[in-house]
């Protein structure tokens, strides 16, 4: 089974400052990794995903994440945040399809608050 730990439940950041949201995962098999964002009263939207290849993944809205297999981490970063980035961010892991257990396991979420 897979598990995800998001180390920070809340992260306040000043507008235009950089931000890093931390995510660590645990799995005994190969995984795919995802970051989703949830705006108030809405469903989730995919920010970016790592399936294979380059460990630096670029997503929408200027976000990027780096897959670090040795540290089992997939931290999300943005060099300069905006008010509109205020939302809840979820890291998620899935076993690869070859395992036959392809289901998403989510972390508990990090609430990002941008301070004007």
Partner 1 sequence: KAGVTQTPRYLIKTRGQQVTLSCSPISGHRSVSWYQQTPGQGLQFLFEYFSETQRNKGNFPGRFSGRQFSNSRSEMNVSTLELGDSALYLCASSVAGTAHEQYFGPGTRLTVT
Task: Give contact residues for partner 1 (rule: CB under 8 A).
Answer: 32, 36, 41-46, 49, 51, 90, 92, 94, 96-97, 101-109
Provide the minimum distance between the beta carbon of 16 and partner 1 in the complex, in angstroms, as a whole number.
29
Nearer to partner 1, 52 or 70 (CB): 52
CB-wise, 43 or 53, nearer to partner 1?
43
Residues 39, 42: Cα–Cα separation, whole Å: 6
CB of 116 to partner 1, least distance (A): 27
Tokens found for residue 29: 């098999």
E-strand stretches of 69-109: 73-78, 87-95, 105-106
Cα–Cα distance for residue pair 104/32, rounded to 1 Å? 9
Minimum CB–partner distance for residue 97 and partner 1 (Å) = 6
Pick the closer one to partner 1 by CB: 80 or 101.
101
Q: Which two tokens stand for residue 63?
A: 């976000």
- From CA 22, how far away is CA 53, in angstroms rounded? 21
């Amino acid at each position: 089974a897979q598990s995800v730990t998001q180390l920070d439940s809340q992260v306040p950041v000043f507008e235009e400052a950089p931000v890093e949201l931390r995510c660590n995962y645990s799995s005994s098999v190969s995984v795919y990794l995802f970051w989703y964002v949830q705006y108030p009263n809405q469903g989730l939207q995919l920010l970016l995903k790592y399936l294979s290849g380059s460990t630096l993944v670029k997503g929408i809205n200027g976000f990027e994440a780096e897959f670090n297999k040795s540290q089992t981490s997939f931290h999300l970063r943005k060099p300069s945040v905006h008010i509109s980035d205020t939302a809840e961010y979820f890291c998620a892991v899935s076993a690869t399809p070859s395992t036959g257990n392809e289901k998403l396991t989510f972390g508990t979420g990090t609430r990002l608050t941008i301070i004007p």
